[in-house]
Amino acid sequence: MAERTLRVAVVGGGMFFEDVIGQTIMDFERYGLAPYLGDIGQGAHARDLADIRVEFAAIGTHSPKRGTAASICDWYREGVPDSVIQPFYGDTVWEEIIAEVEPDVLVVATPDDLHYAPIVAALSHGVDVITEKPLCLVLEQADEIIAAADDAELIVSCDMHKRYDPMNVKLFRDLVPRMGDINYVRAVLEEPLEVSTEVFRWAARSNPFSYVGCHWTDVVYYYLGLEPISLHATGQKNLLVSWADPETGEPKPIDTYDSIQVKVTYEDGMEALYVNAWVNPADFEGPVNQEIKVFGTLGSAFMDQQDRGLRYCIRGEGSRTTNPFFNGLTPAYERFDEMKGYGKDSLTAGFSAIMRRRLLGADREELAPEYPTAASQRSTVALIDAAQQVADLNLEYTRTGHGSPVTAFLGDGGIEIRDPLA
């Protein structure tokens, strides 16, 4: 029987490629997908997918500077010495990759505001997609992506890994059904200052709600099955807009929100408050601060990252809290390590769906419940789009002494900005 191969290309070589995507693809190429399917409840498909070979064919980055495509290829060959991965560079690098490499799957790990173009380009050439979150930042673009995927009968899987966090699975699968009617949810995710000032040079083109709040909006939509109908958003611009180089004092302002708060009303009357920031001091004990509270008529539950994390203190390193649930390297053989954690699980689900559709002939609609589809991201993108518009208007009104009167109505499937002072 001829060998079955899934050729994979990636655009974007930043933090998340380094932390999760690169190692995940390496594990898939070395060991196949089958060993990891049990982690997401798909062990029943392991035998059917066991002989499919994953081949990392291309990596594309914006420029050939240190730490991008060429060095990624060098790093990858340390784990897969016979790798055929090719480096590409350019502003629209995906176009060259699709034309020359002809991948089966394009993994999109570009900045938040640059997901749309490579996704639609891939779909137009018959290429399935796995994209980092959020799907995109504008509702109109989300609708175009969903329609393009439907027309081409291709898969667009969005890396919404908080669905796969064991604590969230326990919370929403086991506890929430016993908590009666859910009155409200409060969810927090706060990133360290280095994310907005050092790691991401595109922070001014996004905000902390778009970047990480989307995880919690997806969890609420996925597990509770509720559509949002209205939104109120406020935010603060204090630290980043006056940012200066810590060493030289040279002004380097970043015009984005330090923190943002989004209050959402859902179709059944449930309220959710999403609290996000990306200016957490470097001295904070964890890589991020995240928590969720679910309050129902018959009970409540609270999950805090630090309470379930692993605390340690080492001389010269300070006190830290790690999150071994998300991603971690475990000793495998003498030379290499494998990654485990829910950061990998979401990617596994996307690859599984693509393999089963492309190589096993599985029905796309039947696969939909088993991975984060583009269609499942529509309500999250609507919240991202509306929150940016509402927060911007409310910030201006707050600065002129008029409070924060602007809201958005989402009940008709679109976004209607309601500004009583307009």
* CATH code, domain with 265: 3.30.360.10
To which residue do tokens 């290499």 refer? Answer: 336
Same domain, 74 and 135: yes
Same domain, 356 and 295: no
> What's the pLDDT score for residue 331?
56
Same domain, 367 and 391: no
Asked if residue 233 is part of any domain, the answer here is yes
* CATH code, domain with 9: 3.40.50.720
Tokens of 200: 């991401």
Same domain, 181 and 267: yes
Contact 11, 94 (CB under 8 A): yes
Asked if residue 330 is part of any domain, the answer here is no
Count of the separate structural domains present in the chain: 2
Tokens of 342: 């829910």
Same domain, 278 and 255: yes
Q: Which domain holds residue 357?
A: 4-162+337-373
State the DSSP code for 210.
I
Residues 6+ apart with CB under 8 A from 123: 129, 145, 148, 149, 152, 154, 156
State the DSSP code for 343.
H
Contact 32, 53 (CB under 8 A): yes
Asked if residue 329 is part of any domain, the answer here is no
How many CA atoms lie less than 13 Å away from 76 in the CB half-sphere? 33
Q: What is the dihedral of CA 271, 305, 256, 156, to 10 degrees?
A: -80
What one-letter code names the amino acid at 269? Answer: G
313: which strand partners?
319
> What's the pLDDT score for residue 285?
79
Same domain, 236 and 177: yes
Same domain, 368 and 391: no
Longest dimension (CA), the chain: 73
Same domain, 170 and 295: yes
Asked if residue 332 is part of any domain, the answer here is no
Asked if residue 331 is part of any domain, the answer here is no
Same domain, 54 and 135: yes
Cα–Cα distance measured from residue 155 to residue 163, given in angstroms and rounded to the nearest whole number? 18
Residues 6+ apart with CB under 8 A from 94: 9, 11, 60, 106, 108, 117, 118, 121, 122
> Residue 44 belongs to what H/E stretch?
none
Instruction: Using alpha carbons only, give the angle 365, 369, 374 rounded to the nearest 5 degrees.
Output: 75
376: which strand partners?
none
Same domain, 139 and 55: yes
Same domain, 218 and 250: yes
> Residue 340 belongs to what H/E stretch?
strand 337-340
Instruction: Give 142-192 as a DSSP string.
Output: HHHHHHHHHHHT--EEEE-GGGG-HHHHIIIIIIGGGS-SEEEEEEEEEEE
> What's the pLDDT score for residue 135?
98
Cα–Cα distance measured from residue 354 to residue 4, given in angstroms and rounded to the nearest whole number? 13
Reported residue count of the chain is 422
> What's the pLDDT score for residue 335?
46
Q: Sort strands 416-418 and 407-409 into parallel, antiparallel or unpaired.
A: antiparallel
Same domain, 261 and 308: yes
**Beta-carbon count within 10 A of 35 CB:** 16
- pLDDT per residue, tens digit, the chain (422 aa), is 457 999 999 999 988 898 899 999 999 999 999 999 999 999 999 999 999 999 999 999 987 765 589 999 999 999 999 999 999 999 999 999 999 999 999 999 999 999 999 999 999 999 999 999 999 999 999 999 999 999 999 999 999 999 999 989 999 999 999 999 999 999 999 999 999 999 888 999 999 999 999 999 999 999 999 999 999 999 999 999 999 999 999 999 999 999 999 999 999 999 999 999 999 998 887 788 999 999 999 999 998 877 766 676 767 877 777 776 776 666 554 445 788 889 999 999 999 999 999 999 999 999 999 999 999 999 999 999 999 999 999 999 999 999 999 999 998 889 999 999 99
Enter the pTM of the model: 0.93
48: which strand partners?
none
Cα–Cα distance measured from residue 240 to residue 204, given in angstroms and rounded to the nearest whole number? 9
> What's the pLDDT score for residue 3?
79
